[in-house]
Structure 1
Amino acid sequence: MSAIHIAILGLGTVGKGVLETIETHQERLQYLLGKPVKVEAVLVKNLDKHKLEDSSILLTDQFDDILQLAKLDVVIDAIVGQEPAFTCAKKSIERGSHVITANKEMFAHHGKELLELAKKHQVSIGFEATVAGGIPVIQTLRKLLNVNRITKIEGIVNGTSNFILTNMREKGLPFADVLKEAQEKGFAEADPTNDIEGFDAYFKALVLSNVIFGKLPEPEHIVREGISHITREQIQTASSLGLKYKHIAKLEKQGGAIKCNVEPVLVTDAHPFYSVEGVQNALSIDADIVGNITLLGPGAGKLPTASAIIEDLPHLYEKQPLKFFDDKLNSGEQQVKTGQWLLFSKDLERSVLEPYFAEILNVSEEAIYVRGLTESMNKWEQDYPVVKMVPIEGEFSLVKELLLV
């Protein structure tokens, strides 16, 4: 019986998880694919730091060695950064091999190009693991996009940020202390910038934008903000009002534009992300036919990410490979939208706020609740950029009660 011959690029946490899963689930894979899966080679950066138990697997630090393999059906990319991942993926496709990638940064910037190249060479690309680890969001979107149009998707797609915000609230600790704990537990890298400043979530949002809308948002419609500025006091104030900080990536079609916001948000207990804690990830999808679907699960780690990679294997051999959907954006007038926010400031006079917001309420010594038009909020941020404003999502019943007093 012939086999499916695979090369794995990278032997870090994810690469090891893939190697382990192929071994432990070999019988299941053979049943699904009709043939065994054989790892032929593993690419590493430093040969001195790695050793494989199976001596039949080529361990190399040269990608050309992998390209020269006699049989190579699938290349699994488990490395980070745009390069050499993009070059490796491109050369693999040109060789006639399928590609599966977990590299969100590379795929966010080069996904459309690689998919077009794959179509030319009659191979497929799997990228489920680029967005939410073990949550099958790409395949869910693929099924929905047969007829449904996605109007909005938002998600907690970075487990590190969610872990930090959860523990700051539950333990009453400052940001620096919880970040250190996350690093000690392996949830955050030695350099946590990508996670805590929102870059990781932003790259994932770009992948989703291409899948849903067939294009990326324009720079003027992108907001990216991390969580490193959030204080223990702000979290405690929000908690006293029944609100929780969540770092949320949101894509929404408004008029003729794609809006991409990656930022801290305050959610009420009516919001589907209110109970998403620790390193969990979640995605909420709004579509015109099915309505709302919420997906919840592990977003990172060795086995959840390996699961997403391995689950892509059967999809590579489907007759209709996954592709970006070219949605035609509605070019009509942008709908008038309202919102609600919490402003953290001790010194603001009501007279300063009144020209911008329809409802204003002091809810604590350090926070002011406001409600009004999104357009007015944008004007406020331009006029008073130093005043921190955090959006609130979900019905805020506490404020409604206070307004009635």
Structure 2
Amino acid sequence: MSAISVGLLGFGTVGKGVYETINKHQGRLQAILGKQVKVSAILVKNVDKHDLPDKDVLLTDDFQKIIELPKLDVVIDAIVGKEPGYTYLRQAVTRGCHVITANKEMFAHHGSELKTLAKEHNVSLGFEATVGGGIPIIQTLKQLLNANKIERIEGILNGTSNFILTSMREEKLSFETALKIAQEKGYAEADPENDIEGYDAFYKAVVLSELVFGKTPEWEKSTRKGITDISIEQINIASSLGLRFKHVASLEKEKNEVRCTVKPVLVGESHPLYRVEGVQNAVSIDADIVGNISLQGPGAGMFPTASAIVEDLIHLGTNDFPAVFEEDEAEGIEGGLPVWALLGEADHAKLPEDFEILGRISSDAVIVKASEEAVDSLDDTTLIAYQILGDHGFAEVLAEQVQPV
């Protein structure tokens, strides 16, 4: 019985998890695929730093030695950065190999081109591991898109920022202290900018947008805000109202464009993301037929990510990219004005007329209803606006609990 030959690019945390999972679960994989799955070659930066128990595996720092193997069926990308992963996967697809990637930055930039190339060469392109680690977000969306039209996606897509916000609230910590703990636990890198400034979550949102809406948002028109300005005082005010800060990526189709935001928001107990804590990731999906579906689980790590990659292995031979129907192009989501918490010392009576004040929390906090454009145009630098996600009825009930205007 011939084996499925795999070339593995990268042997860090994710790469080692994939290697161990494939070896440990051979019986299960053979039962499903009808063949043994064998890692034939591994690409590393420094061969001298690695020692494999299986001496039959080619360990190399030269990708050409892998792509020129006599038998190569699948290439798994477990490296980071736009390059050289994109170039390697193009070569693999052109050769006729199925490809699987966990590289969200590369796929956010080049996923559309890789999908087109994969179709041309009749090979599979798996990217489950680019979003949400071990949560089966991609496969779930593919199934939903057979009958449903996705209207909105909201998600906590970065475990590092979620851990920091949870720690600040539960342990009454400053941002700087919570970040240091995240680094000590290995949840945050020495340079945490990619996580805390929302780049990682934005790349994942771009991947979801291309899958669901058939197009990516315009990067320059998208909103990406980090969590570094959130203070323990603001978290305490939110907690007193039953609200929690979450760093949320949102996708919505507005007529012929996709609106993408990644920013800190406030959510109440009725919101699906309210109880997503620590390093967990979650996605809340609103569809026209099924309604709301929420998925939650580990968003990163050795074996959750390896699980997503191996799930893609099991779906080899399928290229089920959902169709996006043209009649959906002109449709969008209708709704009222967003509700915001304006935090900071200011004379709330001097807010512009297009701000409807729903209620005061304190001298330095007020709940308002206003358009995003109006909030963005505020020239008062002492105020920071945080959107309150959820139905407007919830926000108005909240306003009634605080001092009325």
> Could you say which TM-score interval applies, normalised by the shorter chain?
over 0.9
Counterpart for residue 358 of structure 1: 356
What is the distance in 2 between the residues matched to 1:327 and 1:384? 42
Uncovered stretches (5+) of structure 2, i.e. residues with no partner: none
1:349 is matched by which residue type in structure 2?
Answer: H
Secondary structure of the residue aligned to 2:362 is coil
Matching of residues 205-354 of structure 1 within 5 Å: 205-219=205-219, 221-318=221-318, 321-323=319-321, 325-328=323-326, 329-331=328-330, 335=334, 337-350=336-349, 352-353=350-351
Structure 1 range deviating more: 246-255 or 385-394: 385-394
Letter in 1 for 2:186: G
Q: Which amino acid aligns with 2:359?
A: L
Task: Please point out which of 378, 388, 395 is paired with 1:392.
Answer: 388
Q: How many residue pairs align between the two structures?
A: 399
Deviation at 1:379, TM superposition (A): 2.1
2:16 alignment counterpart: 16
Deviations 1:114-160 (A, max 9, x none): 11111111111000000110110110111111121101111001000
Q: Distance in 2 between matches of 1:44 and 1:220?
A: 35
Is residue 181 from structure 1 mapped to residue 176 from structure 2 by the alignment? no
Q: How does 1:80-119 map to 2 (within 5 A)?
A: 80-119=80-119
- Separation of aligned partners in 1, 2:82 and 2:296: 28
1:211–1:385 CA distance, 2 compared to 1 (3 A) = farther
CA apart distance, 1:330: 3.5
| Alpha-carbon distance between aligned partners in 1 of 2:232 and 2:402, rounded to the nearest angstrom | 25
In the superposition, relative to structure 1, how do residues 146 and 334 fare at CA in structure 2: closer, same or farther (>3 Å)? closer
Structure 1 length-normalised TM: 0.95
1:238 partner amino acid: A
Q: Which residue of 2 aligns with 1:370?
A: 368
Per-residue deviation, residues 237-279 of structure 1 (Å, max 9, x unmatched): 1111111000000000123321101000100011011110000
Q: CA deviation at 1:23?
A: 1.1
1:354 Cα offset (Å): 5.2
Who is 1:152 aligned against? 152
Q: How far is the alpha carbon of 1:315 from its aligned partner?
A: 1.1
CA distance in 1, matches of 2:329, 2:361: 39
Question: What root-mean-square deviation, in Å, do the aligned CA atoms of Structure 1 and Structure 2 show?
Answer: 1.7
Q: Is the 8 A contact 1:8 1:77 kept in 2?
A: yes
How has the CA–CA distance of structure 1 residues 308 and 57 changed in structure 2, closer, same or farther, with 3 Å as cutoff?
A: same
Q: Is the 8 A contact 1:342 1:389 kept in 2?
A: yes
Query: What stretches of structure 1 of length at least 5 have no aligned partner?
Result: none
Deviations 1:352-373 (A, max 9, x none): 225022234220232111124x
* 2:136 paired residue number: 136
Q: Which residue of 1 aligns with 2:171?
A: 171
Residues of 1 paired with 2:229 and 2:338: CA distance?
23
Alpha-carbon displacement from aligned partner over 1:298-346 (angstroms, at most 9, x marks no partner) = 111101000000001121223xx13254343432687453111111111
Q: Which amino acid aligns with 2:362?
A: S
Give the Å deviation of 1:190: 1.4
Alpha-carbon spacing, 1:314–1:335, altered in 2? closer, same or farther (3 Å): same
